[in-house]
């Protein structure tokens, strides 16, 4: 998890993820077209993102395609946010139940 936060703690790497979010499965050259960084810098950032499992790669012939991999972010979501989502849903369902019971009493 440390690797994920370290990888995300850099605006250029977040921009790279934004690029993949807009259009998934890009090659290094395609990614470089939209970014104001040298090819070497993009390569270096991609390695860090891949090590953190935020970017997954597949080969198509000679092309290496880069994909935004949401799995580590989903695990962060499950750890700190999912719980609250469930409470909110339960609160809503209690509210509904309470209001419907009130209606019934009238």
Residue 11 interacting with other proteins (CB under 8 A): no
Instruction: Out of 33, 61, 103, 106, name the contact with other proteins by CB under 8 A.
Output: 61
One character per residue 63-82, x = contact with other proteins (rule: CB under 8 A): --x-x-xxx--xx--x---x
Kindly tell me the sign of the dihedral angle through the C-alpha atoms of 76, 78, 83, 85: positive
Residues 28-47 that bind other proteins (CB under 8 A): none
- Residue with Cβ nearer other proteins (70 or 98): 70
Q: Is 99 left (phi over 0), alpha (psi -120 to 50) or beta?
A: alpha
């Amino acid at each position: 998890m440390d690797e994920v936060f370290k990888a995300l703690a850099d605006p250029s790497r977040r921009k790279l993820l934004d690029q993949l979010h807009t259009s998934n499965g890009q090659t290094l050259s395609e990614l470089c077209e939209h970014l104001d960084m040298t090819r070497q810098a993009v390569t270096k950032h991609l390695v860090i993102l891949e090590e953190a499992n935020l970017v997954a790669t597949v080969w198509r012939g000679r092309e290496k395609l880069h994909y935004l991999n949401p799995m580590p972010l989903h695990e962060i979501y499950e750890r700190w946010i999912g719980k609250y989502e469930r409470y909110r849903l339960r609160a809503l369902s209690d509210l509904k139940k309470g209001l419907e019971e009130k209606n019934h009493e009238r």
